[in-house]
Structure 1
Amino acid sequence: MSSTPTPGWLRVLIAVLLVDMLGAGLYLPVSLLYFTKVADLPLSTVGWCLSFAQLATLPLPLLIGRLVDRVGARTVVLGGLVLQGVGFLGYLWVGSPGSLVVFALLAALGQRAYWSSIFTLIAELASGPERDRAYGIAGAAQNTGVGLGAVLAALLLAVGDESAYQVAVVVNAATFLLSALVLWRGLPKTKAAPAPKAQGLGVGPLRDKPFVALVGANTVFALCSGMLALGLPVFMADALAGPGWLVAVLLGANTAALALCQVWVVKRTEGRRRTRVLFVAAVLWTGWGVLMASTLGLPTVAVLPFLLLVTAPYTLAELLHAPTSNALAAAAAPAEQRGSYLATFQFSFALAGAIGPALFTQLFGWHPAAPWLVIAAASLLAGLAMIALERRLPALAVRTRAAEEELASA
Structure 2
Amino acid sequence: MSAATATPPRGRSRPSTWSRTSATGRALLTTVLTTGVTTFMFLPLLALHLSATGTPVGRVGLLIGLLSLCGQGFSVLSGHLVDRVGARTTTTAGFACRIVGYLLISAGGAALVPGIAAVGIGGSLLVLSVKTRLVIEAAAHDDTRGMLALRSTFGNVGVVLGPVLGAVAYPLGFDAILAAAVLSHLGLGFHLTFLAKDEAAQAPADLAFAPAAPERKPDPGHTATAPGRRGPAVLFLAAVAYWALYSQLNAVIPLTARALTGTTVAITVVFTLNGALVLLFQYTLLRRFLGHLPPRTLLTAGFAAFAVAYLVLLPQAGWLSLLLFTVPATLAEMLIGPSLDELAVTTAPPRRTGRALGLLGLAGAIGSPLGAGLGTHLLQSLHGGPAVWLTVTTAAALAAAACLLLPRPAR
TM-score over 0.5 for the pair? yes
Matches within 5 A, 1:191-210: 209-210=230-231
Structure ID, larger Rg: 2
Aligned partner letter, 1:143: N
| Deviation (angstroms), 1:207 | 10
Query: How far apart, CA to CA, are the structure 2 residues paired with 1:238 and 1:87?
Result: 39
Change (3 A) 1:189 1:380: same
Task: Give matches, 1:60-99, under 5 Å.
Answer: 60-87=74-101, 90=104
Change (3 A) 1:180 1:260: farther
With normalisation by structure 1, the TM-score equals: 0.71
Q: Report the 3-state secondary structure (helix = DSSP H, G, I; strand = E; otherwise coil) of the residue aligned with 2:263.
A: coil
Q: How does 1:8-407 map to 2 (within 5 A)?
A: 8-27=23-42, 41-42=56-57, 50-51=64-65, 54-55=68-69, 60-87=74-101, 90=104, 102-127=114-139, 129-152=142-165, 176=185, 179-184=188-193, 187-188=196-197, 209-225=230-246, 227-228=248-249, 242-243=263-264, 247-266=267-286, 267-291=288-312, 298=318, 302=319, 306-352=321-367, 355=370, 369=384, 373=389, 376-391=393-408, 395-396=409-410, 407=411
Query: What is the RMSD of the two structures over their aligned residues, measured on CA atoms?
Result: 4.3
Which range is displaced more, 219-228 or 140-149?
A: 219-228
User: Structure 2: where are the runs of 5+ without partners?
Assistant: 1-6, 8-13, 201-226
How far residue 251 of structure 1 moved from its aligned partner, in angstroms, is: 2.4
TM-aligned CA deviation for residue 73 of structure 1: 0.7
Counting matched residue pairs gives 366
Between the aligned partners of 2:299 and 2:177, the Cα distance in structure 1 is 33
Distance 1:91 1:208 in 2: 45
Q: CA deviation at 1:330?
A: 0.7
Partner AA of 1:318 in structure 2? E
Alignment partner, residue 195 of structure 1: none
Unmatched tracts of structure 1, length 5 or more: 192-205, 397-406
Structure having the larger proportion of residues in helix: 1
Whole-angstrom distance in 1 between the partners of 2:254 and 2:111? 24
Instruction: Out of 61-70 and 163-172, give the one that drifted further.
Output: 163-172
2:231 match: secondary structure: helix
Change (3 A) 1:152 1:336: closer
User: CA 1:50 to 1:369, structure 2 compared with 1: closer, same or farther past 3 Å?
Assistant: farther
- Per the TM alignment, residue 218 of structure 1 is displaced from its structure 2 partner at its CA by 0.9
Contact 1:290–1:372 (8 Å) recurs in 2? no
Q: Secondary structure at the match of 2:399?
A: helix
Q: SS at 1:3's partner residue?
A: coil
Q: Deviations over 1:291-317 (max 9, x none)?
A: 46866x73xxx4xx6534422112111
Taking only the aligned residue pairs, the percentage that are identical comes to 21
**For residues 139 and 25 of structure 1, what CA distance do their matches in structure 2 show?**
15
Cα 1:27–1:126 change in 2 (3 A) is same
C-alpha deviation, 1:32, in angstroms: 6.1
Q: Which stretch of the first structure deviates more once superposed, 128-137 or 352-361? A: 352-361
TM-score (norm 2): 0.71
Range that drifts further, 13-22 or 367-376 = 367-376
- AA matched with 1:149: G
Q: How far apart are 1:329 and its partner, in Å? A: 1.2
Q: Counterparts of 1:31 and 1:290 in 2: how far apart (Å)?
A: 35
Distance change (3 Å), C-alpha of 1:142 and 1:51: same
Counterpart-to-counterpart distance in 2, 1:117 and 1:181: 16
**SS at 1:389's partner residue?**
coil
Cα distance between partner residues in 2 of 1:368 and 1:164: 41
1:203 maps to none
